[in-house]
Chain A
Amino acid sequence: SQQGEEDPQALSIQEGENATMNCSYKTSINNLQWYRQNSGRGLVHLILIRSNEREKHSGRLRVTLDTSKKSSSLLITASRAADTASYFCATGIIQGAQKLVFGQGTRLTINP
């Protein structure tokens, strides 16, 4: 079963607006990562936040992590048409060795 569950499954907003996606997970994690995927191609790593961090920024991206609630959020500010993609959260789990477990993803559509 999937470790992460993302909400919403799909999101459609106007260009320039902010987009917020949420991720919940079940087990203890070492870190949480967000990835973007365009049209069934490879995933692109966006940002990694470690379990002892609460917030992290990278350009127009802001990620928060609440380990007590086992949840994370990804905020994309001032969205652009090029941000249209699927966004996945992935939890980094150490089970002897590393393992990334992905959520089902949020399909984000930015309307011009």
Chain B
Amino acid sequence: KAGVTQTPRYLIKTRGQQVTLSCSPISGHRSVSWYQQTPGQGLQFLFEYFSETQRNKGNFPGRFSGRQFSNSRSEMNVSTLELGDSALYLCASSLVGTGPSLDGYTFGSGTRLTVV
């Protein structure tokens, strides 16, 4: 059974550029969440998608956006990159993702983004 796949693994971008990261969840999982991890801020919640709808959003500027496709694959986009966007971006999928029965998440290995 394949795990959560994130591509690319590493990325170097210049300030002002935009970037798109991809996440393929475990087959059958319909909920996909995105997190940003930095040494200073730790793991910060970006957003969560379920059945192509964004259901929850963290406290990030509008430069951070995402979407989910009908096959549950998700992408996140960061426009007008800043140096502070350098981070490990983690995607996590879960089976149900609704109501009180919150399941454990399965994380991908992450995309390490460096903005120069």
| CB interface residues, B 57-103, toward A, < 8 Å | 88, 90, 92, 94, 97-100, 102-103
Contact residues of A: prevailing secondary structure: strand
B8: Cβ under 8 A from any A Cβ: no
Once A33-B104, A43-B107, A44-B107 are accepted as A-B contacts, the answer to whether A97 and B45 lie under 8 Å apart by CB is no
B22: Cβ under 8 A from any A Cβ: no
Which residue on A lies nearest to B97, using beta carbons? A98
Contact in complex: B104, A48 (CB < 8 Å): yes
Bound CA–CA A33/B45 (angstroms)? 15
Given A45-B107, A96-B55, 12 more A-B residue pairs with CB atoms under 8 Å apart are A42-B4, A42-B107, A45-B105, A48-B102, A88-B43, A97-B50, A97-B55, A98-B55, A98-B102, A99-B56, A100-B92, A102-B45
Which B residues contact A (CB, under 8 angstroms)?
4, 31, 33, 35, 37, 42-43, 45, 48, 50, 55-56, 88, 90, 92, 94, 97-100, 102-110, 112
